[in-house]
């Protein structure tokens, strides 16, 4: 460097200076640091190794503790690596292991330097290189340096050897073929006399076995020996971890190790070893009753210990036992429940988990009561944790453990009122879900909803808005169970609902609409049921075409299915249809008269309250409350408000007449009013059922429907005739059936429709004005609250085996009556419900071990299957002497494919290296190795019996475990 | 294996950070910050374990120990024993104590490279290498000796600078 003088070097700041300088900077630290960084950039380029080393030292410090990027200096690090001075090397290796990663381009330059240092006579230099390699080894480095590491594995210096063992983990990871070279020596080190060497080797095996335990079964005898003989707790812990993985794979092995482990439990004074033994027993040996009992005794000791660590771990161990041995938890019930109020959040959380594990059908109410009390007392965070776990436990497997749904629903109501409750979304989901699944609980649901709705204070808490919207929806949907619809209406229209977000507010209006229809209908029923009967009788002959088109038995079903669709479409949109499509619903009305009567008779007591006056008041009240909403900026609100208003407008002029003319018998006008009301009522009274989550996926897009295409052109040709087809797109948005198929009947009915009246043309105009709004809203389907989604998805499916795509077909299928269970109300289940529950955690399939298995098992007989052969050995064998049977060759190839594909997914690079590796093979050491494998394989193809024979000899564990290759013994 | 070792002071300043899986520096900073965030809110008497999965991803645990003004934090996965890790922190701190004769935060601050040397003798590539503080100390001393020896051959500038810094 030109401008770099001795003076610069002389007055270079060392790391110590830098740190001290930094400590003096109370303010302006960053300015100081950036100045220092500038210096470093300059110094790093120096030709003087001392200056460079110093600069890199400082840089690594800044990068490590002040998080400055030091990738710019990568090349300087490489330069410094080649310094002969140890102190420089140390700095350089430290910098490299701190800052290099797979993508560092200069990595390719250090292979030779590493090789040199690995073969150095100075063990500290070797150690530096190993240390660095353990952090940064890449596929190429691992492959190229495998021979050096192999040599070091048998180094006489323990200091070096243990590091060489440690580095194997990374090397195997990157370059699985290294296993073929180094595995034997790694295994030999398990029997080393130096306990540190054994410790590191066992550590490596522990890591490997956790990823793919099966491959290491053949080494069980070695591990067993360590388990029995070793006095080093560190080693024992690791060995236990290995056995925890191996034991479930091989019952004989479990049988063998359970006694020594119990012995350790009884004898050891070290808590860490004790805990590891306990964990091994409860997680992997839980079939051995006496061992579990012993472990639980020890767990109990931990639970009552003063040390919070032991208590915490004890609780953890208990939760591992819980699924198989619930008695262990129940035995310690008091401690667990007491821990709920521990100061330590970990302990609280763990005991909460345990408490939830104890929940069963019989005690769910009791436990939830205790928990809710705890929740009331605890801080918001833990309170919500409690609520969350109650909710998730209770809804598990479609409310499996809930028998008394009335209780559960009122618990949900209670939870909603808790001051810290933030579980609105989950409670909302469950309220609606239960409403749809469990018929018998609906009256209670409506009661709970009412209590929530009439409390104006709750509207002030944004966390509760979702729950309130669910309550509003429920009380609208199941209004027939309401004791006082007028009160409900007041609650739904109270001024404070303005605090709700628009979408939820829209639900309120919609529910108010339903309540209104119900009230009107009840009023009419009470007043003039004879008239309506006669009317519907009169009407029947008018629609012979419709009736004859469909089979008589299905008639009512069909109609009831069509009716809501029509009704909902209309109410959402265009009351015109009311006038045109009365045919179907009135038929249905005739058919379902009894059921409607049944529903209203449920609320017979309140019937008397439906006086003419009260109904008129109700209409006025609703009108008064809804009119201002038409000025809202939100489309949904305006839409729904308009619907209500239009309906009122339609009904209101006829109401007084209705009363007068009632005395004179049936009149056309009254018929008109009651007809409309009944139509709407029927539309709403049809039950909504739950639907499988996967149902939507099964809907095929109809031919010629391009959802992605810009629909704007439709605007221009958006005449009245075209409107219905637009419906099928835009109405999908929220409340309405979104499937295209459903719109077909509307389309047809609309085509036959006559001229529209005033209100409908108003709506049509509104539609035209806001046409643009409708289209995008359809795309944001997900934005709508779940309540709506459920409603719209669930419209017709009470049992979801049907496919939405075949919805028309499905409409013809009579509703399946669920089997009524005795004490517990029926809970509708869907096949889709099971899917997420069934999907348990998969054991991780990690196959570096493909090669390990090749080395260990490959040339040997696997315990159960026909010998999968060492594929390398096999290939070699086939080349050398084509003595092997074709079958074996096939085997080998199959394995090859399986392995490479699985490895491809795990280590993207290793497949590449793998093929390279073959070319790179170093004949010297590997030759022998492979020869050995080849022989082994040859032996095995004939000598499987031999292995079996050996297994019969009562030799320690050998009899219990799969056969071990000779060279390992 | 052990995923990371951190020493953070009670004000949140990192004093030592070592990640055994490569992490970009920004990520390191973020991780240290979030660990400190949780640690600083914990009471003295509670357990030494922490739910690390929200910070470090699945299958991670965290154990820490609070000495004077420093938090010693080890992050590891299911192949390590929690109590053993706690012991290992003890081994680390004991070794530092022997190394610096009553270690305090200032020693940790000023002896950046020695801290790493000690740690590297205890944990190697995420594996526990040595658990006896005497053995570790022996190795560290040997390394330091060689370091000074190699510096002694150093030319004037180095010796001058070390003289200057005294």
The string of pLDDT tens digits covering residues A328-364 is 888 888 888 888 888 888 888 889 988 888 888 888 8
Average pLDDT score over residue span A32-50: 89
Interface check A85 vs B, CB under 8 A? yes
Q: Quick one: average pLDDT of A290-308?
A: 92
Six token digits for residue A54: 């110093």
Chain B neighbors of A69, CB-CB under 8 A:
25
In a domain? residue B71: yes
Residue B162 lies in a domain: no
Task: Count CB neighbours of A703 within 10 A.
Answer: 5
Q: Which of B109, B161, B165 is most worth mutating to test chain A (most A CB atoms within 10 A of its CB)?
A: B161
Task: Kindly report, residue by residue over A527-568, the tens digit of the pLDDT.
Answer: 765 444 444 333 333 333 333 333 334 333 333 434 333 333
Task: Give chain B positions within 8 Å (CB) of A63.
Answer: 25
Shortest Cα distance, chain A CAs vs residue B50, angstroms: 7
- Nearest CB to B125 within list A135, A206, A275: A135
How close B82 gets to chain A, by Cα (Å)?
7
- End-to-end, the C-alpha distance of chain A in Å comes to 61
The CB density around residue A687, as the number of other CB atoms within 10 Å, is 16
Question: What was the pLDDT predicted at A896?
Answer: 42
Whether pLDDT at A43 is above 80: yes
Query: Number of folded domains in chain B?
Result: 1
Lowest pLDDT segment from A17-31, A243-257, A371-385:
A17-31
What kind and span of H or E run contains B16?
Answer: strand B14-19
Is B95 inside any structural domain? yes
Which residue in the set B129, B150, B164 is minimally distant from A87, CB to CB?
B150
How far are the Cα atoms of A33, A173, A220, A320 from residue A245, in angstroms, in the given order? Answer: 50, 19, 11, 15
Look-up of token digits 């030494």: B48
A620 inside 8 A of chain B by CB = no
Q: Return the closest-CA partner of residue A591 out of A531, A546, A551, A536.
A: A536
Domain presence at residue B81: yes
Residues of chain B with C-beta less than 8 angstroms from the C-beta of A207: 1, 79, 127
In DSSP terms, B16 is beta-bridged to: B7
CB distance A285 to A261 below 8 Å: yes
Give contacts of B 97-156 with A, CB under 8 A: 109-110, 112-113, 116, 120, 124-131, 135, 139, 142-143, 146-151, 153-155
Minimum distance, in Å, between the CA of residue B64 and any CA atom of chain A: 11
Give the mean pLDDT of chain A: 71
A204 reaches B (C-beta below 8 A): yes
- pLDDT tens digits for range A81-132: 999 899 999 999 999 999 998 888 898 899 999 999 999 999 999 999 999 9
* C-beta separation of A531 from A674 below 8 A: yes
- For residues A810 and B69, give the distance between their C-alpha atoms in angstroms, rounded to a whole number: 71
Token representation of residue A303: 């639970």
Q: For residues A811 and A813, what is the distance between their CA atoms, to the nearest angstrom?
A: 5
Structure tokens at A851: 């090669």
ipTM for this model: 0.91
Tally of residues, chain A: 969
Cα A400 to chain centroid, rounded = 20
Chain B environment of A80 (Cβ under 8 Å): none
- Asked if the Cβ–Cβ distance from B129 to A200 is below 8 Å, we say yes
Q: How far is residue A831's CA from residue A851's CA, in Å, rounded to a whole number?
A: 41
Q: How far apart are CA B68 and CA B46, in angstroms?
A: 16
Domain ranges of chain A: 213-323, 485-678, 849-968
Structure tokens at A326: 């619930």
Which residues of chain B does A206 touch, with a Cβ-Cβ cutoff of 8 Å? Answer: 79
In a domain, B49, yes or no: yes
**CATH code of the domain in which B16 resides:** 3.30.450.60
pLDDT in tens, A387-445: 999 999 888 888 888 888 999 999 999 988 888 888 888 999 999 888 888 888 899 99
At residue A736, φ and ψ (nearest 5 deg) are -110, 160
Residue A925 has pLDDT above 50, yes or no: no
Q: Would the CB atoms of B81 and A275 count as touching at under 8 Å?
A: yes
Assign domain A213-323 one CATH number from 3.80.10.10, 1.10.10.60, 1.25.10.10, 3.40.50.80: 1.25.10.10
Q: How far apart are CA A303 and CA A556, in angstroms?
A: 64
Question: Which residue in A872, A908, A911, A920 sits closest to A147, CA to CA?
Answer: A920
**Hey, what are A969's tokens?**
């013994």
CB proximity A64 to B under 8 Å:
yes
Closest CA to A358 of A378, A383, A339: A339
CB contact set of A334 (below 8 Å; sequence gap of 6+): none
Domain with B25, as residue range(s), is 2-154
Q: Where are the alpha helices (DSSP H) in A438-501?
A: 442-453, 465-477, 485-493
Chain A residues 278-337 within an 8 A CB cutoff of chain B: 308-309, 311-313
H-helix or E-strand containing B72? strand B70-76
Examine residue B164 and state whether it is found in any structural domain, yes or no: no
* A339 to A284, A347, A355, A382, A435: CA distances (angstroms): 26, 7, 10, 13, 36
Q: Which residue of A has its CA nearest to B141?
A: A124
CB proximity list for A680: less than 8 A, separation 6 or greater: A517, A521, A567, A571, A578, A647
Q: How many CB atoms lie within 10 A of CB A403?
A: 16
d(Cα A739, Cα A705) in Å, to the nearest integer?
12
pLDDT tens digits, B16-70: 999 999 999 999 999 999 999 999 988 888 889 988 888 998 989 999 999 989 9
A275 touches chain B (CB under 8 A): yes
Cβ pair A208, A850 in contact under 8 A: no
Size of interface A-B (CB pairs under 8 A): 173
| Token pair in block for residue A439 | 């018929």
Chain B residues with CB under 8 Å of A234 CB are 84, 128, 131
Residue A545 confidence (pLDDT): 38
pLDDT band at A378 (very low <50, low <70, confident <90, very high): confident
Contact of A469 with A506, CB cutoff 8 Å: no
Confidence of residue A663 (pLDDT cuts 50, 70, 90): very low
Mean pLDDT of A724-750: 38
**B127 vs A124: CB contact, 8 Å cut-off?**
no
Q: What is the per-residue pLDDT for A761? A: 60
Residue A245 has pLDDT above 70, yes or no: yes
pLDDT at A128: 93
Check residue A449 and give its pLDDT: 92
Q: Strands B2-9 and B70-76, how do they pair?
A: antiparallel
| Mean pLDDT of the A810-828 span | 49
SS3 sequence of A861-882: CCCCCCCCCCHHHHHHHHHHCC
């Amino acid at each position: 460097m030109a401008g770099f003088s001795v003076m610069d070097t002389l007055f270079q700041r060392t790391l110590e200076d830098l740190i001290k300088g930094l400590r003096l900077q109370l303010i302006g630290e960053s300015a100081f640091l950036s100045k220092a960084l500038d210096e470093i950039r300059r110094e790093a380029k120096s030709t003087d190794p001392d200056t460079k080393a110093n600069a890199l030292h400082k840089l690594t410090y800044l990068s490590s503790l002040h998080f400055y990027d030091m990738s710019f200096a990568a090349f300087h690090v490489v330069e410094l690596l080649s310094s002969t001075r140890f102190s420089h090397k140390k700095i350089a290796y430290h910098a490299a292991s701190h800052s290099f990663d797979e993508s560092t381009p200069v990595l390719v330059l250090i292979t030779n330097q590493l090789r040199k240092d690995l073969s150095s006579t100075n063990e500290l230099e070797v150690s530096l290189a190993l240390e660095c390699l353990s952090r940064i080894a890449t596929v190429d480095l691992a492959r190229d340096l495998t021979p050096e590491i192999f040599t070091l594995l048998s180094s006489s210096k323990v200091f070096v050897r243990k590091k060489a063992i440690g580095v194997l983990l990374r090397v195997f990871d990157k370059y699985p073929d290294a296993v073929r070279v180094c595995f034997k020596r790694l295994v030999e080190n398990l029997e080393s006399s130096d306990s540190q060497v054994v410790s590191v080797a066992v550590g490596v095996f522990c890591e490997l076995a956790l990823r793919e335990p099966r491959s290491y079964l053949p080494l069980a005898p070695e591990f067993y020996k360590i388990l029995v003989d070793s006095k080093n707790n560190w080693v024992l812990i690791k060995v236990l971890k290995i056995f925890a993985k191996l034991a479930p794979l091989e019952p004989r092995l479990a049988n063998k190790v359970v006694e020594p482990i119990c012995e350790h439990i009884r004898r050891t004074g070290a808590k860490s070893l004790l805990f590891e033994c306990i964990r091994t027993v409860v997680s992997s040996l839980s079939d051995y009753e006496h061992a579990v009992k012993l472990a639980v005794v020890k767990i109990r000791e931990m639970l009552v210990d003063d040390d919070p660590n032991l208590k915490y771990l004890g609780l953890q161990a208990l939760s591992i036992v819980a699924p198989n041995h619930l008695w262990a938890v129940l035995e310690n019930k008091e401690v667990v429940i007491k821990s709920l109020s521990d100061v330590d959040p970990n302990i609280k959380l763990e005991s909460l988990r345990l408490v939830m594990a104890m929940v069963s059908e019989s005690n769910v109410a009791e436990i939830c009561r205790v928990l809710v009390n705890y929740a009331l007392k605890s801080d918001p965070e833990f309170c919500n944790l409690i609520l969350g776990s109650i909710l998730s436990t209770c809804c598990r497997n479609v409310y499996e453990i809930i028998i008394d749904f009335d209780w559960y629903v009122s618990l949900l109501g209670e939870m909603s009122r808790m001051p810290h409750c933030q579980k609105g979304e989950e409670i909302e989901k469950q309220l609606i879900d239960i409403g749809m699944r469990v018929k018998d609980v609906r009256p209670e649901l409506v009661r709970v909803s009412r209590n929530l709705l009439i409390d104006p204070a709750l509207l002030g808490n944004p966390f509760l808005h979702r729950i309130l919207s669910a309550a509003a929806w429920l009380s609208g949907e199941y209004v027939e169970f309401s004791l006082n619809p007028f009160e409900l209406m007041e609650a739904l229209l109270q001024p404070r609902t303005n605090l709700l977000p628009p979408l939820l507010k829209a639900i309120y209006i919609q529910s108010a609409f339903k309540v209104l229809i119900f009230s009107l209908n009840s009023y009419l029923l009470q007043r003039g049921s004879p008239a309506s009967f006669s009317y519907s009788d009169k009407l029947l002959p008018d629609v012979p075409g419709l009736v004859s088109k469909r089979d008589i038995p299905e008639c009512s079903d069909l109609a009831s299915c069509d009716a809501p669709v029509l009704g909902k479409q209309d109410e959402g949109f265009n009351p015109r249809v009311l006038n045109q499509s009365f045919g179907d619903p009135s038929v249905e009305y005739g058919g379902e008269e009894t059921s409607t009567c049944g529903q209203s008779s449920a609320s017979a007591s309140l019937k008397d309250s439906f006086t003419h006056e009260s109904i008129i008041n109700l209409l006025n009240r609703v009108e008064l409350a809804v009119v201002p909403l038409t000025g809202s900026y939100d489309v949904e609100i305006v839409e729904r408000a308009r619907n209500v208003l239009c309906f009122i407008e339609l009904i209101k002029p006829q109401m007084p007449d209705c009363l007068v003319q009632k005395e004179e018998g049936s009149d056309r006008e009254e018929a008109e009013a009651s007809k409309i009301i009944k139509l709407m009522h029927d539309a709403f009274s049809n039950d909504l059922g739950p639907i499988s989550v996967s149902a939507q996926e099964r809907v095929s897009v109809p031919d010629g429907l391009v959802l992605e295409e810009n629909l704007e052109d439709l605007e221009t040709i958006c005449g009245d005739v075209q409107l219905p087809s637009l419906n099928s797109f835009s109405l999908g948005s929220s409340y309405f059936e979104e499937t295209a198929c459903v719109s077909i009947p509307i389309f047809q009915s609309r085509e036959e429709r006559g001229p529209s009246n005033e209100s409908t043309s108003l709506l049509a105009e509104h539609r035209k004005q806001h046409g643009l709004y409708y289209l995008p809203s359809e795309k944001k389907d997900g934005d709508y609250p779940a309540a709506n989604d459920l409603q719209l998805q669930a419209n017709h499916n009470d049992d979801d085996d049907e496919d939405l795509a075949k919805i028309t077909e499905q409409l013809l299928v009579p509703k399946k009556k669920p089997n009524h269970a005795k004490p517990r109300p029926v809970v509708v289940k869907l096949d889709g419900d099971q899917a997420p529950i069934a999907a348990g955690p998969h054991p991780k399939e990690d196959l570096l071990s493909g090669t390990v298995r090749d080395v260990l098992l490959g040339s040997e007989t696997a315990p159960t299957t026909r010998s999968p052969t060492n594929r390398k050995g096999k290939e070699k064998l086939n080349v050398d002497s084509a003595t092997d049977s074709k079958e074996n060759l096939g085997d080998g190839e199959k394995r090859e494919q399986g392995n490479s594909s699985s490895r491809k997914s795990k280590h993207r690079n290793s497949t590449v290296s793998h093929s390279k590796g073959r070319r790179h093979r170093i004949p010297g050491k590997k030759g022998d190795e492979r020869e050995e494998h080849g022989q082994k394989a040859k032996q095995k193809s004939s000598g499987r019996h031999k292995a079996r024979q050996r297994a019969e000899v009562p030799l320690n564990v050998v009899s219990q475990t799969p056969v071990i290759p000779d060279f390992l013994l | 294996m052990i995923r990371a070792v951190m020493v953070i002071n009670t004000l949140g300043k990192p004093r030592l950070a070592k990640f055994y899986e490569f992490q970009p520096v920004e990520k390191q900073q973020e991780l240290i910050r979030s660990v400190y965030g949780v640690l600083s809110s914990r009471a003295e008497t509670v357990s030494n374990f922490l739910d690390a999965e929200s910070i470090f991803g699945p299958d991670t645990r965290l154990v820490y120990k609070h000495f004077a003004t420093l938090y010693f934090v080890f992050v590891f996965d299911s192949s390590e024993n929690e109590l053993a890790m706690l012991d290992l922190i003890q081994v680390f701190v004991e070794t530092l104590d022997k190394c610096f004769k009553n270690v305090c935060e200032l020693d940790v601050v000023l002896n950046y490279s020695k801290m790493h040397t000690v740690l590297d003798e205890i944990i190697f590539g995420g594996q526990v290498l040595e658990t006896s503080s005497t053995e570790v100390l022996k190795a560290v001393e040997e390394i330091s000796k060689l370091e000074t020896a190699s510096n002694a051959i150093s030319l004037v500038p180095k010796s001058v600078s070390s003289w200057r810094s005294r």
